[in-house]
């Protein structure tokens, strides 16, 4: 099978794409995989680092732009469409998969125009405009949530879950019997400023003497967070970026973080209890919708960003840092996990490509 995986921009798009590529490679070394992204996205470094080839097209986002910037974005999308057609005709893929990001729109449209089998991944409960449009022309839609079906043609819709890296899936089970209890705090690869500002003070107020902290800050807030913990007398493991998330998860009993699709997929697959503070400016407020599903099922506690004060976080942490409560939340999270997502998606991609 020859496949092109188009998309990127953020880790939330890139990591699932790499997970799918790894599943394909693990089945058959003769399968050929090409990634397509933009030159400025995270995909450039991550795709090459994982041993895959990548080519680039021109593309920019439309959402939230003024008239002039929208016109420029349209020009880039049009150029990207012709770039895409050229790549497809040269590479001759058996199937094209869009994983989200600016690139998916023009590239999946190009694949449709030249009559290639196509599919998209939708990681969030509420899809963006691009995937809603693409859902009308692609052959299959791989979604993370049942509720997303309202936005897509039902006959194409498959609930597969969001692909997770194998290394994450190999993480040891939840460790609520450990002592001390460990809290993993992170707001994505770039960090989350509101969490970085509130968490150190909140931790210093917790009425629980036997905890440990791992906090990923992002580069910008690293010094501030490290100094905040130090000045509060809290011994915390503060890092700008966590290279080995699998290890960090294995050491954690509770996750405090944002509610991006990748984070949701990982913590449910691993059965990690969580306190989720959704990023308030995510498109269509999809992080809030993601977090609501976990809270409704008793797997997480949802705190909106505007309410995530040090006092509120401290109160919530104090109440939840009980081994029995964490075990119940862990079991509920596990029920929502879909660790087989990559395998299910690849099975469907082989079918689209006409292979068993």
pLDDT of residue 68: 65
pLDDT of residue 10: 81
pLDDT at 64: 52
The confidence band for 293, taking pLDDT boundaries of 50, 70 and 90, is very high
| Structural domains for the chain | 2-163+340-352 (3.40.50.2000), 168-336 (3.40.50.2000)
Per the structure block, which two tokens stand in for 248? 């960090």
Query: Residue 185 class from Cβ within 10 Å (0-12 exposed, 13-18 middle, 19+ buried)?
Result: buried
Give the Cα separation of 171 and 94 in Å (integer): 34
% of the chain beyond a pLDDT of 70: 92
Per-residue pLDDT at 174: 45
Q: Which residue has the tokens 């050929």?
A: 32
**Average of pLDDT values for 112-128?**
95
pLDDT value at residue 178:
55
| Out of 15-19, 41-45, 78-82, 232-236, least confident range | 41-45
Give the model confidence (pLDDT) of 7-23 as tens digits. 988 888 899 999 999 99
Q: For residue 301, what are the contacts with CB-CB under 8 A and spacing of at least 6? A: 274, 275, 276, 295, 316, 320
Provide the pLDDT for residue 139.
98
Whether 260 and 285 have beta carbons less than 8 Å apart is answered as no
| Tens digit of each residue's pLDDT (9 = 90 or more) over 54-93 | 999 987 655 555 666 666 767 777 888 999 999 999 999 9
135-170: pLDDT as tens digits: 999 999 999 999 999 999 999 999 999 999 888 998
Whole-number Å distance between alpha carbons of 291 and 274: 10
């Amino acid at each position: 099978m020859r496949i092109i995986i188009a998309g990127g921009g953020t880790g939330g798009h890139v990591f699932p794409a790499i997970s799918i590529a790894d599943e394909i490679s693990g089945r058959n070394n003769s399968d050929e995989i090409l990634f397509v992204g933009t030159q400025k996205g995270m995909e450039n470094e991550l795709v090459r680092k994982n041993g895959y080839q990548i080519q680039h097209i021109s593309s920019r986002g439309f959402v939230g732009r003024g008239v002039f910037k929208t016109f420029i974005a349209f020009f880039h999308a049009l150029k990207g469409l012709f770039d895409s057609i050229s790549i497809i005709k040269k590479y001759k893929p058996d199937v094209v998969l869009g994983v989200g990001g600016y690139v998916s729109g023009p590239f999946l449209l190009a694949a449709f125009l030249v009559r290639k089998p196509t599919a998209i991944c939708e990681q969030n409960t509420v899809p963006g405009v691009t995937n809603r449009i693409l859902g009308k022309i692609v052959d299959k839609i791989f979604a993370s949530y049942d509720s997303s079906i309202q936005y897509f043609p039902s006959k194409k819709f498959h609930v597969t879950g969001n692909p997770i890296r194998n290394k994450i899936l190999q993480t040891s089970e939840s460790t609520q019997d450990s002592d001390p209890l460990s809290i993993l705090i992170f707001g994505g690869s770039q960090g989350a400023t509101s969490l970085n500002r509130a968490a150190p003070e909140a931790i210093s107020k917790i009425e629980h003497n036997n905890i440990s902290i791992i906090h990923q800050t992002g580069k910008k807030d690293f010094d501030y967070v490290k100094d905040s913990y130090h000045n509060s007398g809290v011994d915390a493991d503060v890092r700008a970026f966590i290279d080995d998330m699998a290890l960090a998860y294995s050491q954690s009993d509770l996750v405090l973080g944002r509610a991006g699709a990748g984070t949701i997929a990982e913590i449910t697959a691993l059965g990690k209890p969580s306190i989720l503070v959704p990023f308030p400016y995510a498109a269509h407020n999809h992080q809030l919708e993601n977090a609501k599903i976990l809270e409704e099922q008793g797997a997480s506690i949802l705190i909106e960003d505007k309410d995530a004060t040090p006092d509120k976080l401290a109160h919530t942490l104090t109440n939840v840092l009980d081994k029995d409560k964490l075990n119940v939340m862990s079991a509920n999270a596990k029920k929502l996990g879909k660790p087989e997502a990559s395998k299910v998606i690849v099975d469907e991609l082989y079918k689209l490509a006409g292979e068993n």
